[in-house]
Structure 1
Amino acid sequence: MTYNGKAVRRAAAAVAVAGALTAGIAQPATAAGGRVHTATRAAMEQAVRSGELPGMIAATLDRKGSWSASVGVADTTTDQPRSTRERFRIGSVTKPFVATVVLQLQAEGRLDLDDTVERWLPGLVSGNGNDGSAITLRRLLNHTSGVFDYGDDPGMGAKLFTPAFLTRRYDTYSLEQLVRIALSHPPVFAPGTAYRYSNTNYLLAGMVVERVTGHPYGEEVERRIIRPLGLTGTSVPGTATDLPRPHARGYSKLFGGSATPLDVTELNPSMAGSAGEIVSTTADLTRFLSALLRGRLLPPAELEEMTAPGPHDSGGLGLGSGTLSCGVTVWGHDGGIHGSSTLALATRDGRHVLALNANADWFRDKLPLVEAEFCG
């Protein structure tokens, strides 16, 4: 998931973030495939250098073919270079996968985006001013539900964003358990009246998928997206704490909760669930986003709904968009989870795609890389 709630902001204000992982800077960049993306490669090297990141990998897909590159190291203790074949945690880039499944279910007539959460999860979203009968599935997907983000809960924040994480990272959570943590707080606004990103929205969406289909959301993602597209490096890990090989070590500053990087490669991703647990590769993410936007996963009506601007500048359903300095508009999602920062973006026609990953969760300034690839 992407941690951007109040708990993170409080931790960032309280902690002077210092320290560096500079071992990756001296490692040369390597690249393979298609045309030479000189500007993108230079932007990757600059991002690793200026952001003091261990390493970065990227893959692109465009009319001239595919391209991939790696910069820096996968392991700061051995200086093993990063590889474009690596698997990594994609955080909130999980959300487009979940939104796609929900929209597929609408196309099949099994649910409607204007159904209420109460219809599918009766009695769950209630208490403390929460009202599932006022929240539609659409409001979950575009973050206009007003439901509190469970990561902003002080108790959960202490487990996720302080050094206590090192002793709690193997804890197992169910989707319902995380939702109930969120519902112990009142909504941040009345449903439909504003926009605010909340990971709880996608936990609820995952629960709706299970209620409609009778299968855990991860099984539906595998059946409907991973297997049909041949995404051999993509998986829904559930409670598995290890990453499939090959993979880099993941380094974390606990989103402001630690002054120095910590190795957090092993963790229980159930803390993110359907808001951010999926594991993938840069090649698989380019394939997924291209297929999605080219209409291979959704009928035209549902794809139009997914990419239509939402109220209160909420963007699409599981996707956001932005226009770059050269006038190109890109669609996609970024994702942050302990030890990993990911971005996947594409043009609306799905014919130019970029996916990248840093094995560090403090990588923030991704815009120069996006400008380099789509404008450079």
Structure 2
Amino acid sequence: MRVHVRRTGRWARAGRTGAVALAVAVMATGVAEARQAGAAGSGGRGSAVLDKDVRAVRAAGGDVAVLAEVSAGREGARARTGPQVPWDAQFRAASTTKTFTAVVVLRLVADGKVSLDDTVEKWLPGVVSGNGNDGSKITVRDLLQQTSGLFDYVNDPDVVRAVTEDFDGHRYDTTPPEQWVAVAMRHQPLFTPDRNHPRWAYSNTNYLLAGMIAEKAAGVPWREQVESRIIAPLGLRHTSVPGANPFLPGPHAQAFLRTPDGGRLDVTEHSLQHTADSGVVSTTADLNTFFRALVTGGLLPKAQLAEMRRTVDRTGATDDLAQWPEGGYGLGLRWTPLSCGGGYWHHEGDGWGSYTRTGVTPDGRRAVAVSVTSQGDRPDPVALNKATRTLVDHALCAPAKS
């Protein structure tokens, strides 16, 4: 392992807001070779702990490449392991996009254009109906909080079959969100929302609808609202919403998945993730800037930030609890406890060969983002999340240096 320490203000000069992020590059090479012990800032326990965490993520993920970046006041760290991972790699943030979408909707709430208690039916008449689905019983809060009970369109058998058996035939599909919502409406809801006793079930359909409502309320496409309300103000120079453009806009790792016949398919280029549930492309540095700005009030007024951080239990969400055994879900944000006390805010993202993990302390002083890129088989989500939680825990629990 090689450890390089640089103390420079280049991140701030590049236009990123927040505290200056200092770069510490850690390359896992299979040989424990350290130029400067402890430079990685891994909980004050030296570079050996960071090396162990990075290796553990790769071991848990299998044939993957890993890129991680920590931002902590005047200290920072970057680590990578695996083949061909650029230091400033851009990647599809997948469901981490949901936090961006929640911010857009909550800004509309702050502007008085939308209420969290508005029903889906009010904004999108007749869109959520049939097979027991009723938009008049689902609020905007239910969408952002994942308490609507709506079927997750990505679990539709025909959708699963199409993209797993013939990815090449569908990689450039640009299906509009309305059509994906219609797919979800073919299925009965899991439950009817009950504000007094909320039930929770993760569904990408919720955020398609949230994006559609944001567009109708503002009269501006969802992606343009992300650009004007988040990307531009924060100076996120390497974050974008490419829409139907299948190409990643900057340096990036190649993503591969296994085909049904055991072959290996390059899935880097595709248009499948272009909607409000998954359409953001970013970097580890930009995601740290975004989450730090969010929790410190740089994007939302106090009232809306408080609503965002009001969590519900994920009772009965068996698969989700297996991956995230502790914590609750707010409005596009998860809360997970830390071993050193308190907890952190974050949102994960799982896409086609690209997996994103994030974390930020409530005071915004420490943040970490991890990008995992598949080189073949899909990682086991329970094992991957356990390993990344450990990395995030060590990164956020590390004592600040004076």
Task: Please give the TM-score of this superposition, normalised by the length of structure 1.
Answer: 0.85
Q: 1:25 to 1:36 in 2, by over 3 A?
A: closer
Q: Is the alpha carbon distance of 1:52 and 1:297 closer, same or farther for their aligned partners in structure 2, counting shifts above 3 Å?
A: same
Contact 2:133 2:185 in 1 (8 A): yes
1:219-234 aligned at under 5 Å gives the runs 219-234=224-239
The residue that corresponds to 1:155 in the other structure is 158
Q: In structure 1, what is the equivalent of residue 300 of structure 2?
A: 298
Tell me which moved more, 332-341 or 317-326: 317-326
Which residue is equivalent to 1:15? none
- Asked whether 1:58 is paired with 2:68, we answer yes
Per the alignment, residue 324 of structure 2 pairs with: none
Equivalent residue letter for 2:138: I
Equivalent residue for 1:111, pick from 105, 114, 119:
114
Q: CA deviation at 1:233?
A: 0.6
Residue from 208, 213, 217 that aligns with 1:208: 213
Residue in structure 2 matched with residue 362 of structure 1 by the alignment: 379
| Cα shift at 1:251 | 2.1
1:349 aligned residue: 363
Between Structure 1 and Structure 2, whose CA radius of gyration is higher? 2
Is the Cα–Cα contact under 8 Å of residues 58 and 84 in structure 1 kept in the other structure?
A: no
Preserved contact between residue 25 and residue 45 of structure 1 (Cα < 8 Å): yes
Aligned residue pair count: 342
CA distance in 1 between counterparts of 2:221 and 2:314 reads 31
Q: Displacement of 1:367 after TM fit?
A: 2.0
2:128 is aligned to 125
By how many angstroms is 1:261 displaced?
4.8
CA–CA distance in 2 between the matches of 1:30 and 1:198?
A: 45
- Asked if the contact 1:253–1:362 (Cα under 8 Å) also holds between the matched residues in 2, the reply is no
**Equivalent residue for 1:72?**
82
1:101 Cα deviation after fit:
0.6
Contact 2:28 2:80 in 1 (8 A): no
One of 272, 281, 284 as aligned partner of 1:282: 284
Tell me the SS of whatever aligns to 1:73: coil
Q: Does structure 1 conserve the Cα–Cα contact (< 8 Å) formed by 2:255 and 2:353? A: yes
CA contact (8 A) 2:28 2:51 kept: no
Moved more, 63-72 or 299-308: 63-72
Change (3 A) 1:218 1:29: farther
Distance 1:345 1:259 in 2: 35
CA distance in 2, matches of 1:36, 1:195: 38
**In structure 2, the residue corresponding to 1:247 is in which secondary structure?**
coil
* CA apart distance, 1:310: 2.4
Q: Cα–Cα, structure 1 residues 273 and 258, in superposed 2: closer, same or farther, change >3 Å?
A: farther
For structure 2, the 5+ residue unaligned runs are 1-26, 42-46, 316-327
1:227 positional shift = 0.5
Identify the residue that residue 326 of structure 1 maps to in structure 2.
340
Q: Does 1:269 align with 2:272?
A: yes
Distance 1:124 1:309 in 2: 27
Please list every run of at least 4 consecutive aligned residues from structure 1 whose deviation after the TM superposition is greater than 6 angstroms: 27-34
Give CA deviations for 1:78-106 in whole Å, capped at 9, x if unaligned.
xxxx1221100011000000000111111
The TM-score, its normalising length taken from structure 2, stands at 0.80
Deviates more, 1:184-193 or 1:331-340: 184-193
Compute the displacement of 1:26 (Å).
Answer: 5.0
How many percent of aligned residue pairs carry the same amino acid?
42
- The equivalent residue for 2:203 is 198
Structure 2 distance, partners of 1:327, 1:316, is 20
Match of 1:249 in 2: 254
Checking the alignment, whether the CA contact within 8 Å between 1:306 and 1:316 is kept in structure 2 is yes
Which residue matches 1:9?
Answer: none
Tell me by how many angstroms 1:324 deviates: 2.5
> Are 1:40 and 2:50 counterparts?
yes
Query: 2:35 and 2:263 mapped to 1: Cα distance?
Result: 33
- Partners of 2:250 and 2:32 lie apart in 1 by 21
- Using the TM superposition, give the Cα deviation of residue 112 of structure 1 relative to its aligned residue in structure 2, in angstroms: 0.6
Instruction: Give the 3-state SS of the residue equivalent to 1:292 in structure 2.
Output: helix
The SS at the match of 2:269 is: coil
Report the Cα distance in structure 2 between the residues aligned to 1:213 and 1:123, rounded to whole angstroms.
Answer: 20
- Give the superposition deviation at 1:169: 1.4
**Is the CA contact (8 Å cut-off) linking 1:253 and 1:261 kept in structure 2?**
yes
Q: Secondary structure at the match of 1:97?
A: helix
Give the direction of change, closer, same or farther, for the CA distance of 1:325–1:110 in structure 2 (3 Å limit): same
Compared CA separation, residues 181 and 29, structure 1 to 2 (3 A):
farther
Supply the AA of the counterpart residue of 2:59: R
Contact 1:32/1:67 (8 A) holds in 2: no
